């Protein structure tokens, strides 16, 4: 769980810990042992940097949302590239998806997901 929260995601470009809290998480190993990060720590600088990061947090969130939208568009393009369209004509048999509002509650989760077959009479 810790490695998931401290590793930057390719979709957002930030760690899951950074977006809600506004700063990077310190790895548990760094807390009890020597590290360059801890040796260079200065209370005054940390407070100024924390304020700066909080000011830039909204900008960071916006940029991560843009990266997420770009990633979703890329994934949609990749998926749609593999989808093959099929032209239907009059007389073909088709199935119709059963929507949640038309599903018979008597059958529960074991009810049919599709109904039909139906024959196409006209193309609108």
What pLDDT digit, counting tens, does each position of 12-35 carry? 777 777 777 766 666 666 566 666
Which of 62, 79, 19 shows the shortest CA–CA distance to 9? 19
Alpha helices in the chain (DSSP H): 2-6, 18-21, 28-32, 36-39, 43-82
Q: Tokens representing 46?
A: 């940390």
- 121 or 5, greater pLDDT: 121
Q: Are 115 and 94 in contact (CB under 8 A)?
A: no
In this structure, are 47 and 7 located in the same domain?
Answer: yes
Above 70 in pLDDT, residue 1? no
The string of pLDDT tens digits covering residues 46-102 is 778 777 777 777 888 888 889 889 999 999 999 999 888 889 999 999 999 999 888
The answer to whether residues 92 and 40 touch, using CB atoms and an 8 Å cutoff, is no
pTM, whole model, 2 decimals?
0.46
pLDDT range class, residue 118, cuts 50, 70, 90: very high
Residues 77 and 109 in one domain: no
Q: Which long-range contacts (CB under 8 A, 24 or more apart) does 111-116 make?
A: none
Give residue 38's pLDDT: 64
Q: Could you tell me if 19 and 42 lie in one domain?
A: yes
Determine the 3-state secondary structure of 106 from DSSP. coil
pLDDT of amino acid 121: 95
Residues 60 and 47 in one domain: yes
Instruction: Let me know whether 27 and 56 are in one domain.
Output: yes
Q: Report the number of distinct structural domains present in the chain.
A: 2
pLDDT: is 28 or 45 the higher one? Answer: 45
Which domain range does residue 47 map to? 2-82
Whether residues 59 and 105 share a domain: the answer is no
């Amino acid at each position: 769980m810790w490695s998931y929260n401290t590793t930057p995601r390719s979709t957002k470009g930030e760690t899951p810990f950074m977006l809600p809290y506004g700063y990077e998480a310190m790895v548990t190993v760094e807390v009890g042992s020597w590290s360059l990060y801890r040796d260079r720590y200065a209370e005054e600088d940390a407070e100024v940097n924390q304020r700066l990061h909080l000011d830039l947090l909204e900008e960071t969130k916006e940029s991560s949302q843009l990266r997420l939208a770009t990633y979703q568009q890329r994934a949609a393009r990749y998926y749609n590239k593999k989808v093959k369209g099929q032209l239907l004509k009059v007389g073909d048999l088709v199935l119709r998806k059963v929507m949640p509002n038309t599903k018979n509650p008597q059958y529960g989760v074991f009810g049919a997901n599709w109904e039909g077959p139906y024959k196409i009479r006209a193309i609108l």
